[in-house]
Amino acid sequence: MDRYALIGHPVAHSKSPAIHAAFAAQTGQAMSYERILAPLDGFVDTVRAFINEGGRGMNVTVPFKLEAFALADQLSPRARAAGAVNTLSFGADGIHGDNTDGVGLVRDLVANLDCPLAGRRVLLLGAGGAARGALQPLLDAGPARLHLANRTAAKARELAAHFTQLAGSVAFSAGGFDDIGSDPFDVVINATSASLSAAAPDIPASVYAPGALAYDMMYGIEPTAFLRAALAAGAARTADGVGMLVEQAAESFLIWRGVRPDTAPVLTPLRTPPVVE
């Protein structure tokens, strides 16, 4: 049986083993998937030990995505654009690194939440690793406008500069929370870490256009502070990031096993809280 794993610190809370077990059962794949808690200073040694034990691939979660990027012998174009790796594959030609986070986000928005991005106005909050992983797939989806906003404006502009050449016809801009402007957005995505501390980014209520969707990449048993604030500010719909989790897992599964699982039966029981409309 082929072995796969999630590596991170912490990992005990992760739903990934259950997700991949469901994918394996659905597609008839002989594989196992486990959690591996790596010491904060022991990522590379833990990965190489797993490879030596016959491991075939790993998902990488915080705080190791940058170390995974540095470890990979080959990188996919989307991993290079993101500057981070969340999916490792081990083969005769070495370690291959990919990033499935952004494509998972876009697929959840478009396919699961029926929220097309083409021609829409999108606001992405944050300028860390989560935002970086999302930028290329969001630009590829063809919104009319994509604005990147961060508490520190200079960091947002610095990150945006790396993606300007990928913007094509998209009106792509960046700045601080205090200069988002008064033009509303159809989709507002929280890629900050504020939800980890039960806080919400300090953005104006006017960012939500009629019918707007507020999306938090984080997920939990209860709606995040960002989602609660979005509803109070006039967002028509909210959704957390559990769909992104399932969709990025499906993309990793496709890379490893060559078959794409059906995500709907896996996502439905996991999507808590449900989408609010």
Listing from the earlier edge strand, what are the strands of the sheet with 31-37?
Answer: 31-37, 2-8, 55-60, 87-91, 94-98, 74-75
Q: Give ranges for CATH 3.40.50.10860 in the chain.
A: 2-99
Least confident piece of the model among 15-19, 25-29, 219-223, 273-277: 273-277
Residue 101: pLDDT over 70: yes
Look at residue 247 in the predicted model and tell me its pLDDT. 98
Numbered residues of the known binding site: 14-16, 61, 86, 101, 126-130, 150-155, 217, 219, 241, 248
Q: How does pLDDT run across 185-201, given as a tens digit for each residue?
A: 999 999 998 887 888 99
Look at residue 62 in the predicted model and tell me its pLDDT. 86
What is the pLDDT confidence band of residue 223, given thresholds at 50, 70 and 90? Answer: very high
Numbered residues of the known binding site for shikimate: 14-16, 61, 86, 101, 219, 248
**Can you tell me which residue has the tokens 């709606």?**
223
Question: For the chain, what percent of residues have pLDDT higher than 70?
Answer: 98
For the annotated catalytic residues, the residue numbers are 65
Q: Give ranges for CATH 3.40.50.720 in the chain.
A: 102-242
Domain 102-242 CATH (choose: 1.10.260.40, 3.40.50.720, 3.30.450.20, 3.40.50.2000): 3.40.50.720
Q: Are 17 and 33 in contact (CB under 8 A)?
A: yes
DSSP assignment of the chain equals -EEEEEEESS-TT--HHHHHHHHHHHHT--EEEEEEE--TT-HHHHHHHHHHTTEEEEEE-TT-HHHHHHH-SEE-HHHHHHT--SEEEEETTEEEEE--HHHHHHHIIIIIS----TT-EEEEE--SHHHHHHHHHHHHT--SEEEEEESSHHHHHHHHHTTGGG-TTSEEEEEEGGG--S--EEEEEE-SSGGGGT------GGGEEEEEEEEES---SS--HHHHHHHHHT-SEEE-THHHHHHHHHHHHHHHHS-PPP-HHHHTTT--SPPB-
Look at residue 41 in the predicted model and tell me its pLDDT. 97
Mean pLDDT of the chain: 95
Look at residue 276 in the predicted model and tell me its pLDDT. 53
What is the pLDDT confidence band of residue 275, given thresholds at 50, 70 and 90? Answer: low
pTM for the structure as a whole: 0.93
Q: Angle, to 10 degrees, between the axis of helix 242-257 and the axis of helix 16-27?
A: 50
Numbered residues of the known binding site for NADP(+): 126-130, 150-155, 217, 241
Look at residue 129 in the predicted model and tell me its pLDDT. 85
Look at residue 90 in the predicted model and tell me its pLDDT. 98
Q: Which CATH superfamily is domain 2-99 in?
A: Leucine Dehydrogenase, chain A, domain 1 (3.40.50.10860)
Average confidence (pLDDT) over 121-125: 98
Average confidence (pLDDT) over 206-219: 96
Taking the C-alpha atoms of residue 219 and residue 275, their distance in angstroms, rounded to an integer, is 12
Taking the C-alpha atoms of residue 120 and residue 53, their distance in angstroms, rounded to an integer, is 47
